[in-house]
Structure 1
Amino acid sequence: MDLTLLYRGPLASCDYDCPYCPFAKRRDSREQLRADRASLERFADWAGGRTEDRLSVLFTPWGEGLVRSWYRRALTELSHQPHIRRVAIQTNLSCRTDWLADADRDTLALWCTYHPGQTPYDRFLGKCRELERLGVRYSVGIVGLPEHLDAARRLRAELPERVYLWVNAAEGRTYDDAEAGVWTGIDPLFPYSRHPHASAGLPCRTGESVISVDGEGTVRRCHFVPAELGNLYDGSYRAALRPRPCPLTSCDCHIGYVHLETLPLYDVFAGGVLERIPAAVE
Structure 2
Amino acid sequence: MDLTILYRGPLASCDYDCPYCPFAKRRDSREQLRADRAALERFTAWAAAQTDDRISVLFTPWGEALVRSWYRRALVELARLPHIRRVAIQTNLSGRTQWLAAAGTTGRDKIALWCTYHPGQTPYERFLARCDELASLGIRHSVGVVGLDGHLDEARRLRAALPEEVYLWVNAAEGHSYTDEEAGRWTEIDPLFPYSRHPHRSAGLPCRTGESVISVDGDGTVRRCHFVRAALGNLYDGSYRGALGPRVCPLAVCDCHIGYVHLETLPLYDVFAGGVLERIPARQSSLIERASP
TM-score normalised by structure 1 residue count? 0.99
C-alpha distance in 2 between matches for 1:210 and 1:105: 23
**Partner of residue 259 from structure 2, selected from 248, 253, 256:** 256
Compute the RMSD of aligned alpha carbons.
0.7
Residue aligning to 1:52:
52
1:128 aligns to 2:131 (yes or no): yes
After the TM superposition, which of the residue ranges 95-104 and 255-264 deviates more from structure 2? 95-104
**For 1:55 and 1:273, how far apart are their aligned partners in 2?**
14
| Equivalent residue number for residue 20 of structure 2 | 20
The CA deviation at 1:116 is 0.4
What is the distance in 2 between the residues matched to 1:108 and 1:225?
A: 27
Matches of residues 114-263 of structure 1 in structure 2 within 5 Å?
114-263=117-266
Matches of 1:179 and 1:29 in 2, distance apart?
41
Would you identify which runs of 4 or more consecutive aligned residues in structure 1 move more than 3 Å?
Answer: none
Give 3-state SS (helix, strand or coil) of 1:256's partner. helix
Match of 2:289 in 1: none
Distance in 2, matches of 1:242 and 1:172, equals 33
Q: CA deviation at 1:2?
A: 0.3
Partners of 1:142 and 1:35 lie apart in 2 by 31
* 2:218 maps to amino acid: G
Structure 1 alignment gaps of length 5 or more: none
User: Sequence identity of aligned pairs in percent?
Assistant: 82
Residue 281 of structure 1, CA deviation: 3.1
Query: Which residue in the other structure is 1:6 paired with?
Result: 6
For residues 163 and 102 of structure 1, the distance between their equivalents in structure 2, rounded to whole angstroms, comes to 23
User: Residues 63-92 of structure 1, C-alpha deviation per residue, up to 9 Å, x if partnerless?
Assistant: 100000000000000001110110000000
Q: CA deviation at 1:135?
A: 0.9
Number of aligned positions between the proteins:
282
Q: State the match for 2:95 in structure 1.
A: 95
Q: Aligned equivalents of 1:3 and 1:144: distance in 2? A: 32
Alignment partner of 1:265 is 2:268: yes
- Stretches of structure 2 lacking an aligned partner (at least 5 in a row): 286-293
Partner of residue 283, structure 2: 280
The alpha-carbon deviation at position 265 of structure 1 amounts to 0.3
Letter in 2 for 1:239: G
